[in-house]
Amino acid sequence: MASLRLPPPLRDTIIAAAQTGYPDEVCGILLGRQDGEAVTVCAVRAARNVHPERTADRFLIEPQDYLDAEYAAAASGLQVVGVWHSHPDHPPHPSVTDREFAWAGWSYPIVSVKAGVATELRSWRLEGQTFGEEEVLS
């Protein structure tokens, strides 16, 4: 099974951003290292959701935020290893839209936020045409 090592302070950063951004979807970028099926997150970066119409149930990362994350990763000897986002008032399972925009090999943590409170974080990785859940480790 694939795994995502997400240290508690970084997990807390993601959860806080998801709660603060409620009722909109918030998103960000994971920087770290990948070793086969194991991903270790070393830094998280917030990204602006610039979806033009549906920020409550869709996200689109501001291109400059993505480029800045790539530059920061390279400067630190890391790589972009995934994208995190929230699902306001929905479970932390990938949607059809999430699948449409996913890249193979990346981790996709999703935080469920209900009435402004984060209730669950689960992570997914694209396996062929479908998502498989990956174990989230501290």
Give the pLDDT confidence score for residue 118 in this predicted structure: 98
Q: What is the mean pLDDT of residues 9-14?
A: 98
Average pLDDT over residues 26-32: 98
- The pTM for the full model equals 0.97
CATH number (domain holding residue 78): 3.40.140.10
For 99-130, b/e burial (b = at least 16 CB within 10 A) is eeebeeebbbbbbbbeeeebeebbbbbbeeee
Structural domain harbouring 82: 3-137
Distance of CA 39 to the CA centre of its chain: 13
What mean pLDDT, rounded, does the chain reach? 97
Number of domains in the chain: 1
